[in-house]
Each structure stands twice: as C-alpha cells, then as structure tokens.
Amino acid sequence: MGSNYWLQNEYERETDIHTKGNKTLNVTEIAPARFGFDWKEFWKHRELLYFLTVRDIKVRYKQTAIGVFWVLLQPLLTTIILTLVFSSFARFDSIGVSYPIFVLCGTILWLFVHTAITVTSNSFVGNTNLVTKIYFPRLIVPVASTMACVMDLFLSLPFVAILLFYYRVEITWQIALAPLFLFLVFVLAASFGILFSALNVRFRDVKFAVPFFLQVWLLASPIFYPASMIPEKWRLIFALNPLVGIIEGWRSSVFGSTFDLSLIGISSLSLLVLVIVSFTVFRSMEDDFADLI
C-alpha cells in the first residue's frame, strides 16, 4: 500500500468528537470508500472537473496558427481522401447514401475516440504536480481530458448537417436517437482513457502501445466500410468491438436506415464489460499514483 494511500483513495466525513472547554472540536476523517466508487465525492468536486476541462481546451489550441479550425480541417481532409480512394477503387457499399456523408459520419466519431484516448492516456503524467500535492478524486483527471475533446466532436457536427442537406438525405424520427450514440461513444472513449491513464502511471511503455492499438482498431472498425460487408458468420464476433455497434447505430439514426439490433446489443454489452474492467483496474491502482508518477 502506497504512502499516499490516505490522500488518494478516500472520502471525507466530518464528526464531532468531544468538547474541550467551551469549544466543540470537529474532525475530518479521511478513509477509503468501502464499496465501489464514491460518486458523491466526485460530484462534490465538479467545479474542479469544469476548470480542468476548460484548461485542457485552452492549452490544446494555445499558440496554434489556426486554432480550432484544425478540428474542422481534420475530418474534412480525411473524408476527401477516403472518398477519393475508396469510392474510386474499392467501391464499398454506403447503405443507400452518398459515400462522402457515409465516411464523414464514421470519421468524426473515430477522430474523437482517437484524440480522446491519446490525450487521456497521458493525463496523469501531464498533471504530476496536481496529483502529488493535493487531494481530489483522481478520476476527475482522465474524465476532464476526455470532456475537453468533446468540443472537437460537437464542432464537427455542422459538417454532417451540411452534407445531409447537400445530398438531400431525408431526416426521419430516428435522428432523435443520435444523441444516445454520441453519449455511448463518449463512454467508450472515457473508459479506454481511464484504463490507459491508470496503466500508464505504472507501465510507461503504454504510451508506445496505444498508437499501435489505435491503428489496429481503426481497421477493425467500420469507419470507411459498412459492417454489412463482414460475412454473416463473423458479424456477431465483429460486434464485440464496441465501436461497431455505436457507429452502425449512429449512422442508422442519421440516415434513417434500419437499426441492426444484434450488432448494437452485443457492442453495448461489450462496452459495459469495458466500463467495469476500466473502473476495476483504476480503483486497484489509484492508491499508488502519487508514489509511482
């Protein structure tokens, strides 16, 4: 158990213990949460979460030539390149819509996940002074880093609206479910970010493994191809990748196509397992963060 245990894995409780003279002494007891994660303590420090999120947003674009326009340029150029390559040579099916809007819908989710995991995995290493000197729920650090990347995703959404209008894609009631899949992709990015940020404190070679993992994950996800091109017998195994169901559900909600409930269901269960594993690993390691970092 690390020497900073009482400063990292704790909750606070104020109790009156005895009266000395005319004064009642109040004692703040710092002790570990007995079961699971102390969400009340996390909520108590919500202002810190807000300020860290705003700080990360400002730092990301400080002293850049075009600032937040990088957020708009990246999905645009990626969509153009993928469209030129795969619409001309591979001829992937785009489930009844124009290929550029098909690719853009997958690209903006992937770029968010890629950026959020890359940034969040280094969040503790980049906040060494904060982690080692003051008490706060450590989960705030990776969550704030992930939330800072949400702005990139939101700024990309107008591109989707423009292309939907340009290609005359009919908007249906299913668009109301789009926020659900945006929330799920946030949970996915935050879960991997929390897991890798904890592992990176103890195993510094994680920063080398994450880029390789993301490269493989890109190819294993239906970013520039539809999940329907996967053979039927392998499709459910393919859905164990939680990003598969999220992207397919997101596209179906935007384009008004039929939801593949089997893919979405399996991916959702896979995401739930990932959340449990991430929190379990984080809770088991956070006691030693200040000692190892």
Q: What is the C-alpha separation between 249 and 146, in angstroms, rounded?
A: 22
Q: Are 131 and 289 in contact (CB under 8 A)?
A: yes
| pLDDT at position 15 over 70 | no
- Asked if residue 202 and residue 93 are part of one domain, the reply reads yes
Which uninterrupted H or E stretch holds 155?
A: helix 140-166
| pLDDT at position 134 over 50 | yes
Task: Record the pTM.
Answer: 0.83
DSSP-assigned states of every residue in 80-101:
HHHHHHIIIII----TTS-HHH
Residues recorded for the chain? 293
Dump pLDDT digits (tens) for 197-251.
Answer: 999 888 888 888 999 999 999 999 999 888 888 888 888 899 999 999 999 999 9
Q: What is the mean pLDDT of residues 162-189?
A: 94
Is residue 62 one of the residues assigned to a domain? yes
- Asked if residue 268 and residue 133 are part of one domain, the reply reads yes
Q: How far is CA 194 from CA 55, 116, 168, 178, 224, in A?
A: 19, 10, 40, 24, 27
SS3 124: coil
Burial class (CB in 10 A: 0-12, 13-18, 19+), 245: buried
- Asked if residue 181 and residue 167 are part of one domain, the reply reads yes
- Asked if residue 130 and residue 21 are part of one domain, the reply reads no
Q: Give residue 179's domain range.
A: 37-286
- Asked if residue 13 and residue 127 are part of one domain, the reply reads no
| pLDDT at position 1 over 80 | no
- Asked if residue 104 and residue 26 are part of one domain, the reply reads no
Dump pLDDT digits (tens) for 66-114.
Answer: 666 777 788 888 888 888 887 666 666 667 788 889 999 999 999 999 9
Q: Structural domain tally of the chain?
A: 2
- Asked if residue 266 and residue 143 are part of one domain, the reply reads yes
Q: What is the C-alpha separation between 96 and 124, in angstroms, rounded?
A: 44
